[in-house]
């Protein structure tokens, strides 16, 4: 169906559209009995009431109903549109809405012989809390921890697929997607991210601004630093609207490269006051973190990658937080429950080779601060976002990070390759 479906929010003003939909239901009324004894006035208790439509034809319905201190979820899809994944779409929209509203938990009631619905709810993480002779009650906790141990995939993996194609694939495969720097500027990208109906995250240079620049929270250039701060704050606000628990960005640089220089040799033969850049970086992070805390979200900083071709003869490093000692320093200077490390394992591998530190010792040092992990591999000389396999050096560490977000950040691979590598992460994470 794609993203062309309309989500229509229902109020007392347009209740007649909902009323017509209820009257059009046939056998679906046997399992969806919510309106049998309820009228228009029940909308006053709802946190959200919606219809899923296409070409002015209503295909499904969903609500969040507040009854005393309990929030109840209800959905129904017309029989002629069942089997198209619309139930999943409605549930995801309602879960996103619940997250935005700060709802702690949701319950639902389902007939015990409605096996398809039970399978659907369990797939979203609903847990059985009560079973009677004819019906059962399921519950899901709605908070940032719903993303704990999430194993997703970056948009980088999908090559030249459009954003619509990526969302469609992700919906069918039930993938969590990290929207990253793989998209050029599109004026409606923020709106698209908020409104799409998959589990999703936003990272670093997303959405791309109309005027390209390299995000640098440690820049000596006040204008670049301000743009970087505002970009991160915008990313947090989009994440809040989308029901995501966080936004993440790269650690700062001591130079300001051009966008086409990233991943290549930088202009490193320039005067540098590294402690000044560090101070700018810390102050920038604190500003962004203030907004994250206000929104009830987390802000994560990703370790940089220092390759041997970006080393200076005087030993001054041009990128912040490539070494584990500096990552630890960051969290010693900024202590917040809303702050954490996005550990890029490929960045760490290249940096270890260039800066001569041991990988496993590095992971041990930063382990207490890791909340989010990027997974890809390389030859140790350059960050190339290669696929992972059984030889991936980080696999034995996966069991130590059960509550983290894990994202496969491999470039240009097939869906079969994506699923195979996600399976590898799941298998080792359970050992």
Mean per-residue pLDDT for 19-30?
Answer: 91
Average of per-residue pLDDT values in the chain: 92
Q: Residue 401's pLDDT band (boundaries 50, 70, 90)?
A: very high
Looking up tokens 């097939």 gives 414
Q: What is the pLDDT of residues 214-228, one digit of tens each?
A: 899 999 999 999 999
Spatial distance between the Cα atoms of 248 and 206, rounded to a whole number of angstroms = 10
Long-range contacts of 31-40 (CB under 8 A, 24+ apart): 31/76, 31/110, 31/111, 31/114, 31/117, 32/74, 32/75, 32/76, 34/63, 34/74, 40/12, 40/15
For the chain, list the domains and their CATH numbers: 2-142 (3.40.630.30), 145-429 (3.20.20.150)
The answer to whether the beta carbons of residues 245 and 239 sit under 8 Å apart is yes
- Which of 3-7, 31-35, 376-380 is predicted least confidently? 3-7
Bridge partners, residue 135, by sequence: 111
pLDDT above 70: percentage of residues in the chain:
97
The answer to whether the beta carbons of residues 383 and 375 sit under 8 Å apart is no
The three-state secondary structure class of 127 is strand
* Residue 12, burial from CB neighbour count under 10 angstroms (0-12, 13-18, 19+): exposed
Spatial distance between the Cα atoms of 331 and 298, rounded to a whole number of angstroms = 14
Mean per-residue pLDDT for 182-194?
Answer: 92
């Amino acid at each position: 169906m794609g993203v062309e479906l309309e989500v229509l929010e229902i109020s007392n003003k347009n209740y007649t559209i909902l009323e017509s939909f209820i009257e059009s239901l046939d056998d679906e009324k046997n399992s969806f009995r919510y309106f049998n004894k309820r009228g228009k006035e029940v909308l006053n208790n709802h946190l959200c009431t919606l219809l899923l439509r296409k070409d002015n034809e209503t295909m499904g319905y969903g609500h969040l109903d507040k009854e005393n201190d309990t929030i109840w979820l209800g959905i129904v899809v017309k029989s002629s549109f069942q089997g198209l994944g619309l139930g999943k779409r409605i549930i995801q929209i309602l879960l996103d809405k619940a997250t935005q509203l700060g709802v702690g938990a949701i319950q639902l009631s389902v007939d015990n012989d409605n096996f398809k619905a039970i399978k659907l709810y369990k797939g979203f993480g609903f847990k059985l809390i009560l079973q009677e002779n004819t019906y059962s009650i399921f519950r899901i906790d709605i908070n940032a921890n719903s993303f704990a141990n999430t194993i997703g995939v970056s948009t980088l993996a999908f090559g030249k697929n459009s954003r619509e194609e990526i969302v469609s694939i992700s919906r069918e495969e039930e993938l969590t997607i990290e929207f990253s720097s793989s998209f050029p500027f599109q004026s409606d990208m923020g709106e698209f991210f908020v409104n799409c109906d998959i589990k999703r995250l936003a990272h670093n240079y997303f959405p791309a601004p109309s005027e390209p620049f390299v995000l640098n929270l440690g820049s000596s250039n006040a204008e670049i630093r301000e743009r970087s701060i505002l970009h991160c704050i915008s990313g947090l606000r989009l994440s809040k609207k989308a029901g995501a628990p966080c936004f993440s960005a790269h650690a700062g640089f001591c130079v300001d490269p051009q966008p086409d220089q990233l991943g290549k040799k930088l202009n490193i033969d320039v005067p540098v006051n590294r402690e000044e850049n560090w101070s700018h970086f810390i102050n920038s992070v604190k500003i962004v973190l203030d907004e994250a805390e206000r929104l009830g979200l987390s802000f994560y900083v990703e370790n940089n990658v220092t390759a041997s071709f970006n080393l200076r003869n005087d030993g001054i490093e041009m990128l912040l937080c490539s070494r584990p000692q500096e990552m630890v320093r960051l969290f010693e200077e900024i202590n917040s429950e809303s702050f954490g490390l996005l550990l890029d394992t490929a960045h760490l591998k290249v940096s270890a080779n260039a800066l001569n530190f041991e990988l496993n010792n590095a992971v041990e040092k930063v382990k207490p601060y890791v909340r989010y992990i990027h997974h890809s591999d390389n030859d140790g000389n350059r960050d190339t976002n290669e696929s992972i396999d059984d030889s991936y050096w980080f696999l034995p560490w996966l069991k130590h990070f059960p509550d983290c977000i894990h994202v496969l950040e491999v470039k240009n691979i097939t869906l079969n390759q994506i699923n195979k590598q996600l399976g590898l992460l799941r298998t080792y994470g359970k050992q």
